[in-house]
Amino acid sequence: MRKFVLFIVLSLAGTVAAVPATARNTSPTLDAVARWNGSALSAVRALRASDADAARLYAMLNVAVYDAVNGLDNDSRGGHPGRAHALVPGPGPRQADPQAATVAAAHAVMVGADSARAAQYDAQLTADLATIRPGAKRDAGVAWGRSVGERVLAARANDGSTPVETQPGGTGPGVFPAAWSGVQYRKVRPFALADPAAHVLGPPPGLATLDYAAAFAEVALLGNAAIPAPDKLATFQFWSVPTGTDQPAGEWLKIALTVSASRHLDLIDGTRLLALLAMALSDTSIPTVGTKFNNRHWRPQHAIQQAGTDGNPLTAADPTWLARAGSAGSTPEWVSGHSSYSGAGASVLAGFFCADRIPFEATTDTAPGGLARSYPGFSAAAAEAGRSRVFGGQHFEFSNQAGLGLGRGVAAEVLRTALLVKDGPTHRGECPR
C-alpha cells in the first residue's frame, strides 16, 4: 500500500499547526477534479492510447471520484443524497473530507493505470492534500478515496479490454482491406449499459442503392484532397483528434468541465455529471467497435478508387482520388466513431442540464492555430464534429448520422438508469435526478 507523506508546518511557538488560507473551511469545488482529469488527458496523449482505451481510463477515473464522494455521509447541503453508486457502494467513513477522498481516489486510479508516471501523480496528490486542513477528517478521506480507487481498478482488471485483438483485412467490393486492432472492445464489460449488443447497428446502405450513390457523390466532392476548401479542412482538423491526442472522448470531457465551471457546479453535482458522461462515452465504444467488426465496410477512399467493382451504375471510379484527411482511415467505415462519441457526449450534457442550448467555447487538441470555436449548444457541436468526418473524406454521411444516433441511444439508456436517487422520483421529465 502506498504511503502518503503529509507535511505539517509548525508555528514559531512550535505548538500550533499553520494551515494555508486555501485549506480553511472552503466549500468543495470541482477544481481538483478538473486537475486530475487534466492528468488523465495528458496520460492518454503520452500513452498514445486508442479512442476506446482513452474512454475507459476517463470512465475509471470519474467513476472512482464519483463513488468516493457519493459514499460519504456528510453532504454539506443537508443530508446524504441517497444516490446509486457506479461501481463501489458506500457507506464511507462519517465526517471524512470529500476533497481528500476525491484526490486520493483519482490518484489511486492514475497510478494503477499509468505507473510510469507514478512520481508525478504522487507529487500532485501531495500538493492537493496540502490545501486541506490536516487531521482525522483528511486522513479518513484519504483512506476511503484510496480504497475506492483501488476497488475500481480491481473491478475493471478483467473487463475484456485486454489482450488486444486484431481483425484481418478483407477483400472484395465494399470490404475494408486493412487489418485493424482493438476489436476486443466489442466484448468489453460495460460500465452502465445493460446489454451493449442492443445498440449494435445492422449493415449500411447496400452498394447498389441510390442512398449509397448519393452519399458517395457528396463525399467525393466535399472530402476530395484535390479540391481546395480551407474551411472544410479546418473543420476536419479541429475535430480530428487522432492517436497522440486526448481522443474524441477527451474533448467531450473538456467541454463538460468548461460548462461545469460556468454553471458553478459543486463537487457532488459535478462528479455525477462527469461519471455519467465518462461511462456513456466508454460504453459507446462497445457497440461502435461491434458494428465496425460485423460489417467491415470500406472507407470513401477505397470506395471511390474502386467504384468500378461496386455494381452501382451511379458511381464512377477515380483511382487517383485521395481523402482530404491525408489517409484512408485505420478502421472500418461503418459506423463513424467520432460521431458516436459526439452523439453520446452531447446527449449526456443536454440531459443532465435539461437544456441543449447552453453556449460554450471549445479548443481541441488539433484546433488549427489553437483557436477556440463557439457553439450555441451541445448538439450543434456534435453535428459539426460528425460532419467533419465527411469533410475529411473519412466517412459517408449515412455513417455520420448513424453514429450520432448510436451515441444518443447509449446516452439515453445511461441517463435513464445510472446514478439516480434511490428514493422518490428519479427523473424530471426526461432529465435524470
Of 13-27, 64-78, 188-202, 241-255, which gets the smallest average pLDDT?
A: 13-27
pLDDT recorded at residue 126: 98
Q: What is the pLDDT of residues 93-116, one digit of tens each?
A: 989 999 999 999 999 999 999 999
pLDDT recorded at residue 13: 29
Q: Give the confidence band of 28 by pLDDT, cuts at 50, 70, 90.
A: confident
| For residues 82-97, average pLDDT | 94
Query: Which residue would you say has higher pLDDT here, 20 or 65?
Result: 65
Give residue limits of the domains in the chain: 9-155, 166-432
Q: Give the confidence band of 19 by pLDDT, cuts at 50, 70, 90.
A: very low
How many percent of the chain have pLDDT more than 90? Answer: 89
| For residues 317-342, average pLDDT | 98
Q: What is the pLDDT of residues 198-250, one digit of tens each?
A: 999 999 999 999 999 999 999 999 999 999 999 999 999 999 999 999 999 99
Q: What is the pLDDT of residues 166-188, one digit of tens each?
A: 999 999 999 999 999 999 999 99
Q: What is the pLDDT of residues 366-418, one digit of tens each?
A: 999 999 999 999 999 999 999 999 999 999 999 999 999 999 999 999 999 99
Q: What is the pLDDT of residues 359-372, one digit of tens each?
A: 999 999 999 999 99
* CA dist., res. 36 & res. 55, Å (int): 15
pLDDT recorded at residue 396: 98
Q: What is the pLDDT of residues 41-57, one digit of tens each?
A: 999 999 999 999 999 99
Query: Which residue would you say has higher pLDDT here, 72 or 16?
Result: 72
Cell of 206: 447496400
Q: Give the confidence band of 3 by pLDDT, cuts at 50, 70, 90.
A: very low
- Checking if the pLDDT of 16 tops 50, the result is no
Q: Give the confidence band of 430 by pLDDT, cuts at 50, 70, 90.
A: confident
Q: What is the pTM of this model?
A: 0.92
Instruction: Select from 314, 299, 329, 315 the least CA-distant residue to 396.
Output: 299
Q: What is the mean pLDDT of the chain?
A: 92
pLDDT recorded at residue 27: 54
- Checking if the pLDDT of 323 tops 50, the result is yes
| For residues 11-28, average pLDDT | 36
pLDDT recorded at residue 10: 27
- Checking if the pLDDT of 25 tops 70, the result is no
CATH for 166-432, among 1.10.606.20, 3.40.190.80, 3.10.180.10, 3.40.50.1370? 1.10.606.20
Specify the CATH architecture of the domain 9-155: Up-down Bundle (1.20)
